[in-house]
Chains A and B, each alone.
Chain A
Amino acid sequence: EPEVTQTPSHQVTQMGQEVILRCVPISNHLYFYWYRQILGQKVEFLVSFYNNEISEKSEIFDDQFSVERPDGSNFTLKIRSTKLEDSAMYFCASRRQGAVYGYTFGSGTRLTVV
């Protein structure tokens, strides 16, 4: 069964540092997403990406965040200057075209900002 792959599984970074979280979506999927889950809280939408541009973003996704699809397979989330409150599990997801298809999530990257 095709999977969404995320790396690294766990990243520890110092406050103020830049981090890049990486994702390889399923190859025939066209829609890509980032979500995050702060420990003990709901899974929250960050951003959706389609046709090489952001299609929707949440209030959380401010100027510190950016996404990129640098080649045909990778999808990255960059946090420019990390804050303690950015500590969370970050999930990448992808979906095929068509409303009948569900979202496939990766296993997540646990980001710890110290």
Chain B
Amino acid sequence: SQELEQSPQSLIVQEGKNLTINCTSSKTLYGLYWYKQKYGEGLIFLMMLQKGGEEKSHEKITAKLDEKKQQSSLHITASQPSHAGIYLCGADRGGSEKLVFGKGTKLTVNP
């Protein structure tokens, strides 16, 4: 089955700092999804990447897909306390309806 490894597992940054979260797949990526989850709550869709080299941005969050490396990175510029939460990457295998998720990266942003 597809395994997704996220790094780091947790991250504590000062407000205003930039940060990067990585998601590496053991198999070919067909679609890579980034979600944000607040503790005990639902998953908020951030963005989806499908093509190698694709890069998308939403407000101060940018995600890239490196298909050759089977990896995606999520970059937050000038972090704010509102960015705090758990960031999850999910991938589909193509031909399957299910998403496989990584364990998540817990982000804390200190004011």
Residue positions of A touching B, CB distance < 8 A: 6, 31, 33, 35, 41-45, 48, 50, 55-56, 58, 89, 91, 93, 99-100, 102-108, 110
The answer to whether the Cβ of B88 comes within 8 Å of any Cβ in the partner chain is: yes
Q: List 9 A-B contacts (CB under 8 A).
A: A33-B98, A35-B99, A43-B88, A45-B100, A48-B98, A50-B97, A99-B31, A99-B50, A102-B47
Residues of A within 8 A of B103 (CB): 41-42
Residue among B42, B100, B104 making CB contact with A108, cutoff 8 Å:
B42
Chain B: interface residue total (CB-CB under 8 A)? 23
Give B18-56 as 1s and 0s: 1 = Cβ < 8 Å from A's Cβ atoms. 000000000000010101000011111101101000000
Are the CB atoms of B99 and A45 closer together than 8 Å?
yes
Q: Which residue of A lies closest to B44 (CB)?
A: A105
Residues of B within 8 A of A105 (CB): 35, 42-45
Are the CB atoms of A42 and B41 closer together than 8 Å?
no
Residues of A within 8 A of B100 (CB): 45
Residue among B31, B48, B88, B98 making CB contact with A45, cutoff 8 Å:
B98
Residues of A within 8 A of B87 (CB): none
Q: Which residue of A lies closest to B47 (CB)?
A: A102
Q: Which residue of A lies closest to B98 (CB)?
A: A45
Cα A52 to Cα B98 in complex, Å, equals 17
Residues of A within 8 A of B97 (CB): 31, 33, 48, 50, 55-56
Are the CB atoms of B42 and A91 closer together than 8 Å?
yes
Give B83-104 as 1s and 0s: 1 = Cβ < 8 Å from A's Cβ atoms. 0000010100000111111111
Are the CB atoms of B99 and A103 closer together than 8 Å?
yes
Residues of B within 8 A of A106 (CB): 42
Are the CB atoms of B45 and A102 closer together than 8 Å?
yes
Which of B43, B47, B101 has the most A CB atoms < 10 Å from its CB?
Answer: B43
Cα A102 to Cα B43 in complex, Å, equals 12
